Every structure is written in C-alpha cells, then in structure tokens.
Amino acid sequence: MLTESQRERIEIVLVAPRNPLNIGAVARAMANFGFSHLAVVSPYIPHWREARSAVGAPELLRSAREVATLADAVTDRTLVIGTGTLTHHKPEQPVISLPALAPVVAHELDRDGRIALVFGPEKHGLTRKDLSWCQAFVEIPTDVRQPSMNLGQAAAVCLYELATRVSTSDTETERARNAPPLQQDVTDPTVSGDLDILAALVDEVMVAANYSPLAMREANRHTVRLLLRRLKLHAADQRQILGLFRRILWRLRRSPKRNVTNRLF
C-alpha cells in the first residue's frame, strides 16, 4: 500500500458533480483506500450540502476543498491526470491505460511531485476544455455496449489501482523503466498554476502583436495550455521563458508602430 506521505500528495478532483450519492460514493472509496484529499469544482450547491452529510466518510467531505474552477483546483499540482473512456473523447494529450496508471503516479511521487486525478460530471465527463489542464488521460476500459461508468465506481477502480499497485519497495530506477514516456526525470517540476501564469502572459503577447482575430483568442488559449503541458518544463525553464515573454511584451507596448486596432482587444 502507499505510504501516508505518498497519499498526502495525491488529490481527487471532481468537476461539477451533481448527484450527492455519487459524491458520497467517491468519498467512501477514498476512505476505503486511504486517500483523504478531495477538491470539488463548482458543485451544485443544494446537492453538495446533501453530500456533506452522507454516511461513510463525513469527515473527508467536511474537509473537502470547494473551488470555482479546475485551474484553481490543480494550481499546485505537478501532474494532472484526467479520466474517462475513449467512447466520447478524443484526447489531445497522451492516453494511458488504467493498468499503466500506477507506474506513472509512482514515477511522479519519486520526484516529490503532487498529483491530481480528475473526474468529470456524471452526464458527459470531462470536456475538451477541462482536459486542456491535464498532462495525460487515463482510459477506464468499459464494454462498448455500456461505455459510461458511475462516478463512484470510476473513482473506486482508479483508487484501487493506485493503492495496490504503486509498490513502495520498487527503486526509482525500476519505476522509471516501467513508466510510460510521459514525464521527464527532472527535479523541481513546474506546477500547473505557474504554467497558467506563463500561458496568460503568452496570451497577452499574442494580443499585443495582433496575432489573430478576436474570435480565435479562446482557441489560442486552449492550444497554449496544451502545448505548455506537453513541454514538461522544469520550473527554472518556466521562469526563464516567463522573463523572455515579459521583455517581448514590454517592447511591443513601447513600439510606436503598434497597430491601433489592438486597442479593440
């Protein structure tokens, strides 16, 4: 089983859950396998209050973080993993099978990373926009005749994989050899919040440079979020790139030749 220190660095994130029974089921599954950190993004408030009184894991639910956005929920995470089936998703990030989840998580824990395992709403799962904050997508295999899985059940099978297959006796070298080629072996990995700071600055530079029409701005933001996560930046590299883009933005704003139409953005 995972050590207490390892479990402390893994958080379960539920995006816009609505059914209090499902939220309670996730909390009970977490308690079953020794996980205690839960974040709930934009819950349906009346049902969220009901869930807090659910039996099985009341203390875990009372201590759960309630946040407005997925970006807020994962701001301090070094690895964010979305979950679901491929029936309704065409992920733009690496797809890992459920059995391969444990080596990926073990490898991140070995470098002192902090992990978020993200589950989407019951009706449609994680959206394309939600997944743009994820470095990977773990596929939960299901029969094609019934591809959707109950939220509580999905959480339970994922947490079982983590609790029982992330061996604490393996060496870091062995784990790295078994892990899919998802992460670089670097210390001081970049947290999601710092990537968002860099993405926001890149967006400012693109606007200042009149890079594309206003109608394309959200699509550009999506692309930049994905790209920065694919690069697997070391924290020091993120800071250096941030400085470069700040200098570019400063020069663009001081340039006398800036197109006046930029003011429309």
Residue 11 sits at φ, ψ, to 5 deg, of -120, 140
Q: What are the chain's domains?
A: 4-178 (3.40.1280.10), 192-264 (no CATH)
pLDDT for 186 equals 54
Average pLDDT of the chain, as a whole number: 85
pLDDT for 173 equals 40
**Per-residue model confidence as pLDDT tens digits over 116-136:** 999 998 888 899 999 999 999
Residues 6+ apart with CB under 8 A from 215: none
Residue 264: pLDDT band with limits 50, 70, 90 = very low
**Per-residue model confidence as pLDDT tens digits over 189-243:** 899 999 999 999 999 999 999 998 889 999 999 999 999 999 988 899 999 999 9
pLDDT for 172 equals 45
Cα–Cα distances in angstroms (integers) from residue 116 to residues 10, 185, 228, in the given order:
6, 19, 17
**Per-residue model confidence as pLDDT tens digits over 141-172:** 888 788 778 899 999 999 999 998 876 444 44
Residue 181: pLDDT band with limits 50, 70, 90 = low
Select from 105, 91, 97, 86 the least CA-distant residue to 33: 105
Mean pLDDT for the stretch of residues 47-51: 74
Q: Give the CA radius of gyration of the chain.
A: 20
